[in-house]
Structure 1
């Protein structure tokens, strides 16, 4: 950390986004960072907008409310900030920051343009308008709303670098409006041409599964453009959607779908259509339609091309006419390639996450064709890339390529919402590093316009449960405030007509399936605003969400009834519990899960009301939370701390949601550790238990069990997929089974971030850096010194500046460690290093020497107690691997049968599966080699 010699203000921005700074509303939030010597104390801030100066009591700018008169649409203003210390000294004014007010508060006047006589469903089209621009025009802003997706060019140049504009929202409630400054592309005094390519995107997609799939929004794409020109004298001139536009429905984009992919026939490209030198006689006048609602600007980073990845291998293909390409990473995006070939050559690209016996395995895609087709026009060095689709894939199968394919001519273009990375983790165990990288890739790929469950099959929907469990991890990795705030607007809109109920998918396009009122899914409306307030200091959003949060809890209260137990109706429960066959039949009773979430959400609503200053309402919801907690204990908890559902998720929920009397917490934590050890420390939790289980163990003093669970390599575990080459997080723990076969279910995604919710634990616990007060105004430094790790490091760009923790074990004396911490200016940190009483430090760089006893295991063998063996790191896996070498079938039987509980020797359990003496001897030798 570089300590400033003088206080200064840096990183000034307006709005929630970090990719650019703009005013998407009349009163946008303002943020800035303060860098100063640790001893210098800030007292207040001063903000200057042009010539207006106001004082702010808070010197640290974390989404501060706009202190000036409201901005007007089109305003261009200059903002500066400085901070004043308690000693009266002041920083210099920050660099002048130009604010562009990019919003509109007037009724929408542009008509929607569509094909007058479409010949097929979801037909893409081209739209163009040539117009004269007076020499007096000084600026231009392009405003576009769409029923679909579009790409615009002005005078032959892209208007921006985004793709899939304007993204996906709950269109029937909120029609997104894209506003782009195109002044630099305008040619005053000449004829200009605005050209737009349009496809259906999410608007014309079919949603649902199998024969139930149908279009939800509409059959045909449409676009509503408005180019606003500003003259020197202040006069406004609009080039709007009207009858003067010309449309063409037989361009090179033959068909386009999110699930299906695209077909492009380059022979059909109308040459020169993007410039004014064009004969549009063959084009038609548009069908005009008035919008049924005013479109609204959305304050969210756009989807962009983030990076390109080369082909890393060309696997052997089972068919000589098909070439397989491996990009080395499961990703979200599409393929760009360069090719020369005869006109009419048809090149087909099929995408998949896995290959099997020399072929792409498309079974997990279900009805999604995920296929792009290009028909060449005979030109040399043609660059091909889809326009309006995306795929989840690592492998691509190419057919019809002319001549010998050169892999260097192909690249995978990674697409996702352009979120700013803010959190990093690394440690001495490369497996954990790879797991963390997989988590990053999975969230980034599924953060595409809105938080989706998966990017590859015929789904790609905003499942509320997935977003709810992953939101803390997402906030540890990226600045997700604007991203989730935008999606929550749709959640609230969908909830508004449902009596407080929250659909399981938002936007809700799944008919009755999406209407399920499910615990852990609908609770996204209480959990995510709380996360955004805690991690980003977003007070305004939390205040805005109090009403919808209350509506959800009230709806749950009605569903639960006077006994406060939510046990009626269908629940997803601990979805995809790996210990059962059906995803919705977890071992933890769904009523227990639902009642636990009921208590938690009631508590979150109470806390939000208390922050808002509504003490009476806060008390009412606190009483409700206490009542639900009491009902939970009376119904599901025995006097000795056992739960009615004797399963890990039940204990994790009870412990982490604070549902147990203090006297029973140690027993519950011990039982949780016992159950996990009995299963050989393999994962026994689904979507709702997995984010909580490590925290429940660590908070309950069960560090050994937590370490065993985190570092387990057997299936199911967090590290098992790495042995199968995983580069993203899987939907199922056993998506690829140990024998190399795919899980037989039709619901098998290899890019699904929910189970990657452990990422937040890697940051908070292993790295030891956590947010301890809203907006990171206070840190918690409390590393988990895992015995097998030599070092770990975490860094986070908080709203107040860079924070970090790193710890290193002394190679000569492993019980001794050195911990370094970086605390931003104006922030305090609560520190717990385990070998002394917790203490507090202020801003600056800090170093501490720590002594923590290593956890050591005794020597073990086949005559050792089962529980002692299970507690030795890697021992259960060593036994399973050794048996599998002898007989995979016996290993499967043994792993399903064995319970690693005290009071019995391993030799006796091996006899139960008729293990021969030679195998027992090999297992004994393998156990002798387990590190102690």
Structure 2
């Protein structure tokens, strides 16, 4: 065998090469290779990858190229910025594809290799770029059933096609097809916005769907949010009465020639198999009326009508910036049930949002009816009373002649169980597959612990988010509501940022918050606002205008969301100021601490009713504080000074009105003390005794919470902050009503709207308001991630640029671990107790730093990787039983033995 010798110098070169920093995960406007960008300064983000510790970026170089080569080179730019770096080159042209790549230098001044290229494609940047015309059905619509409408156009292309992009939107929900194939994998498009002010269009790369010669483009449109039933009292046609389609297809040939196909008078219209479709009521599909091949060449459309070209506005059109709704997990039935009432029911084992795909055989005219429910009643029968007026039904009529496949198009259902009716023959569960639909947010956070019930709670939190983050943050997905309730969204927003990447999701929705904001600054109860101009300005709901932008900034380090929302934030605070007298906001309608716990036996007068104006004053102060924070980030010193003075007056008014001379609040509830403490409403010298009164209240309820939507998110945070971490754990681990684990013990797979949606005797709360998929109480997740495991970000390095790791161990847990995908990479922390040793494992991504709080009496008691702390780990003092160390990127294993 031939021996190979490598010199020491060569070996070191190989090691250095292997240790070289790599650049990966390039994003443009928080998306991977997006099509349809309409900002002139798109922002670039990237990650550094290295197996070495303490890696920082010291410089970067970006090159952006068009079809003819580079158009912008930064040269070597000194700095560690790797998130949201703005493009600053020549103006970008419409419908053009650009590529970009970069390299970085690390803190050893070593350059990385150039990254793989990423790309982005611009949308219709200028108003004059839009050439398409709105089209509507050219026939008299069925105004009762309101079936979906089909639009089609045949056209010829001559030449080799190098690129083709479809820009499309609708009045209603659309599904596009080209040459008989579905375009893209988005559902419920164009999504839900305040349509009269902001109507999204989507862009799709359809290059491979077209061919030289004859082609056909088709669009199917259903009612959707545009003209469907929304809210209550026969509320429909909110944005318009007519379904419409707007299409622009941009084609480029190999010889450079361009061609544009648009929606215009050349199109035709008809109806097809979708006989009726409503979000609340479901879809009826008659396969006997399918127009086979309607979106393909060779189809005879002689019997179709033309189209109408209505007078329509185009100035509300915007390109979609958030991830679309897509299909995700699928579920096979875990059980076929024959209920005591003789019903045939399939249990999919998970409460989800989406629909069921059905495979069936039968003769023409056979019918399958599917009804949807979240729960079975105490007798085991199918239960739909809590759906209120929503029919939530899918009806399929077979055409016969072989195996047929059915699924809805323009509706969705919230369900775990389906009841099958009108089905002839034996039911085969394998013929029914449930599929989850939700916005295509990247899963980012994981959490697990030594407690199986808490792990199920985390599962329920995530599935509550999946089911209700369906283009807008809905309150619930099953009954005749499904609206973008602002209070629910703000309460859960920080938890949401951990579990999924919701930067674009909330950025889009917050623009609708601002769009639907009233001229006087008041914020609606729901956004998009379908409840009217008077359904506005409830404390804790309207504060969504300030709370979510700040939470997004903390979680993602995205300053643009603050810049965009700042006028809306200021307008909401101005409304509260204008509505106040002597700095006290104490009038108007407020929901208060919604769905707080009410004791079954209230003879002792302990009902947890918190004064609504006390709550309002707390949220007023919090919104002012968030404006101070935002003004500081935006370098607006004048506003910072003005709001600082206002905040002091608001807090003084609170103390004068709601606090006795001895420091007792006029409402002695948990929520009152939680909000007063969380928002620092009390002078420093009164806070400790207020925290003690909170503890006294919790203990008076046998260590149970009594908080509702507004108090619950902060309850455990306040207890931990004021030194009552054991009590926070006791509340987390409480298993009987009211508690987070009570629904888990009752078999829940999502978060409930009410603490006792299903009572201990298996009967239900009032069906008028009893959702079993309502995420607000899932806000406890934020405490689990940021306090229990201790994974957090500092405000001097938001977006996890400067990471804080401070675990709070307790509750009898032997381990708890969380990980989070940030824009810099994955950060994780996990603690474990084994015998007399406490272990803390931490992973810090490149280009970030962390301050880690290690539970230890002193630095000498800590080992890292089995050895004493090395010099590269800087000890930064100790406090409250922790030793603080500063570390750079890398993986660390700390251990402390008693």
TM-score (norm. length: structure 1): 0.88
Question: Contact 2:229–2:278 (CA<8 Å) still a contact in 1?
Answer: no
Partner of 1:593 in structure 2? 615
1:644 matched to 2:666: yes
Instruction: Select the residue among 415, 440, 447 that pairs with 1:425.
Output: 447
1:576 matched residue in structure 2: 595
2:473 matches 1:451? yes
Q: Does 1:148 align with 2:168?
A: no
- What's the offset of the Cα at 1:848? 2.1
Structure 2 residue matching 1:776: 3-state secondary structure: coil
Determine which of 205, 209, 212 is the counterpart of 2:228.
Answer: 205
Specify the SS of the correspondent of 2:252: strand
Cα deviation, residue 727, structure 1: 0.3
**By how many angstroms is 1:223 displaced?**
1.0
2:709 — aligned with what? 687
SS class of match (1:704): helix
Q: Is the 8 A contact 1:19 1:301 kept in 2?
A: no
Q: Distance in 2 between matches of 1:839 and 1:631?
A: 41
1:469 lines up with 2:488 in the alignment: no
Give 1:379 deviation, angstroms: 2.6
Cα distance between partner residues in 1 of 2:659 and 2:678: 15
Change (3 A) 1:671 1:612: same
| Superposition map of 1:743-892 within 5 A | 743-772=765-794, 773-810=797-834, 812-813=835-836, 816-836=837-857, 837=878, 838-850=884-896
Q: Which stretch of structure 1 is more off in the superposition, 46-55 or 194-203? A: 46-55
Which one of the candidate residues 580, 593, 608 is aligned to 1:560? Answer: 580
Deviations 1:704-726 (A, max 9, x none): 21111110011010000012110
What is the alpha-carbon distance in structure 2 between the residues aligned to residue 484 and residue 5 of structure 1? Answer: 38
CA deviation after TM superposition for structure 1 residue 381, in Å: 1.4
User: 1:563-712 to 2 correspondence within 5 Å?
Assistant: 563-579=582-598, 587-712=609-734
- Stretches of 4+ aligned residues off by more than 4 angstroms: 18-22
Alignment of 1:293-692 (within 5 A): 293-294=314-315, 295-320=317-342, 322-356=343-377, 357-495=379-517, 497-511=518-532, 515-561=535-581, 563-579=582-598, 587-692=609-714
Q: 1:40 to 1:766 in 2, by over 3 A?
A: closer
Relative distance call for 1:81 and 1:712 in structure 2 (3 A) is: same
1:271 equivalent in alignment to 2:317? no
SS of the aligned residue for 1:203 comes to: helix
Deviation by residue 1:727-780 (Cα, 9 ceiling, x = unmatched):
000000000000100102401100000010011111111222112231211111
Are the aligned partners of 1:452 and 1:461 in contact in 2 as well (CA < 8 Å)?
A: yes
Shift of 1:136: 4.6
CA–CA separation in structure 2 for the residues paired with 1:548 and 1:57: 35
2:275 to 244, 254, 265: 254
Pairs within 5 Å for 1:225-264: 225-249=247-271, 251-264=272-285
Give the distance between the partners of 2:448 and 2:125, measured in 1 at CA: 44
What residue is the counterpart of 1:68 in the other structure? 89
User: Which has the higher mean CA deviation after the structures are superposed, 338-347 or 63-72?
Assistant: 63-72
CA–CA separation in structure 2 for the residues paired with 1:312 and 1:19? 38
Aligned-pair CA distance for 1:26: 2.5
Task: Give, in whole Å, the separation in 2 of the partners of 1:387 and 1:799.
Answer: 34
In the alignment, the residues of structure 2 paired with residue 633 and residue 58 of structure 1 have an alpha-carbon distance, to the nearest angstrom, of 46
Paired residues of 1:670 and 1:702 also in contact (CA < 8 A):
no
Query: Judging changes above 3 Å, is the alpha-carbon distance between structure 1 residues 476 and 231 closer, same or farther for their aligned structure 2 residues?
Result: same
Q: Distance in 2 between matches of 1:422 and 1:257?
A: 33
Q: Is the 8 A contact 1:338 1:382 kept in 2?
A: yes
Equivalent position to 1:193, from 203, 216, 228: 216
Checking the alignment, whether the CA contact within 8 Å between 1:353 and 1:393 is kept in structure 2 is yes
After superposing the two structures, state which structure 1 stretch, 486-495 or 290-299, moved more. 290-299
2:63 counterpart (29, 45, 48): 48
CA gap of 1:411–1:362, structure 2 versus 1, over 3 A, is same
How far residue 402 of structure 1 moved from its aligned partner, in angstroms, is: 2.0
Q: What do the CA deviations read for 1:269-291 (whole angstroms, capped 9, x no partner)?
A: 11221211111111000111133
Alignment check: 8 A CA contact 1:575 1:586 kept: no
Distance across 2 between alignment mates of 1:483 and 1:112? 27
Partner of 1:502, secondary structure, is coil
For residues 59 and 400 of structure 2, the distance between their equivalents in structure 1, rounded to whole angstroms, comes to: 67
SS at structure 1 position matched to 2:226: coil
Deviates more, 1:291-300 or 1:154-163: 291-300
Distance in 2 of aligned mates of 1:784 and 1:40: 28
Cα offset for 1:90? 1.2
Please name the residue that 2:117 is paired with.
Answer: 96
Matched residue SS, 2:653: helix
Pick aligned residue for 1:221 from 228, 238, 243:
243
1:226 Cα deviation after fit: 1.6
Secondary structure of the 2:847 match is coil
For structure 1, which runs of at least 5 residues remain unmatched after alignment? Answer: 853-932
Q: Is the 8 A contact 2:28 2:45 kept in 1?
A: yes
Maintained 8 Å contact 1:574/1:586: no
Matched, 1:718 2:718: no
* Secondary structure in structure 2 of the residue aligned to 1:460: coil
Q: SS of the counterpart of 2:86? A: coil
3-state DSSP class of the match of 2:516?
helix
- Once residues 254 and 279 of structure 2 are traced to their aligned partners in structure 1, the CA distance between those partners, rounded to angstroms, is 43
TM-score normalised over the length of structure 2 = 0.91
Instruction: Kindly provide the CA deviation profile for residues 540-562 of structure 1, in whole angstroms up to 9, marking residues without a partner as x.
Output: 1111211111111011111122x
- In 2: Cα distance, 1:586 partner to 1:298 partner: 44
**Matched-pair contact (CA < 8 Å) for 1:640–1:667:** no
* Structure 1 residue 338: Cα displacement: 0.6
Ranges in structure 2 where 5+ consecutive residues have no aligned partner: 1-16, 858-877, 879-883
Aligned mates of 1:769, 1:308 — CA distance in 2: 31
Greater displacement, 56-65 / 755-764: 56-65
Residues 24 and 298 of structure 1 are in contact (CA less than 8 Å); yes or no, is this contact kept in structure 2?
no
What corresponds to 1:891 in structure 2? none
Give the C-alpha shift of residue 851 in structure 1: 5.9
Give me the CA root mean square deviation: 1.9
Taking the aligned partners of 1:4 and 1:626, their CA distance within structure 2 comes to 57
The equivalent residue for 2:49 is 35
CA distance in 1 between partners of 2:599 and 2:570 (Å):
35
For 1:667 and 1:572, locate their aligned partners in 2 and report how far apart those are by CA, in whole Å. 28
Quick check: 1:805–1:821 contact (8 Å CA) kept in 2?
yes
* Cα deviation code 1:813-856 (max 9, x no counterpart): 3xx3111111112222122234341332222222222368xxxx
Give the 3-state SS of the residue equivalent to 1:613 in structure 2: coil
| Cα distance in 2 for residues equivalent to 1:20 and 1:318 | 52
Once the 2 structures are TM-superposed, how far is the Cα of residue 218 of structure 1 from its aligned partner?
Answer: 2.2
CA distance in 2, matches of 1:713, 1:127: 55
Q: CA deviation at 1:234?
A: 3.8
Q: Cα distance, 1:25 vs. partner?
A: 2.4
The answer for the alignment partner of 1:875 in structure 2 is none
| Contact 2:193/2:200 (8 A) holds in 1 | yes
Rounded Cα–Cα distance in structure 2 between residues aligned with 1:246 and 1:103: 25
CA distance in 2, matches of 1:647, 1:80: 56
Aligned partner of residue 462 in structure 2, secondary structure:
helix
2:34/2:120 contact within 8 Å kept? no
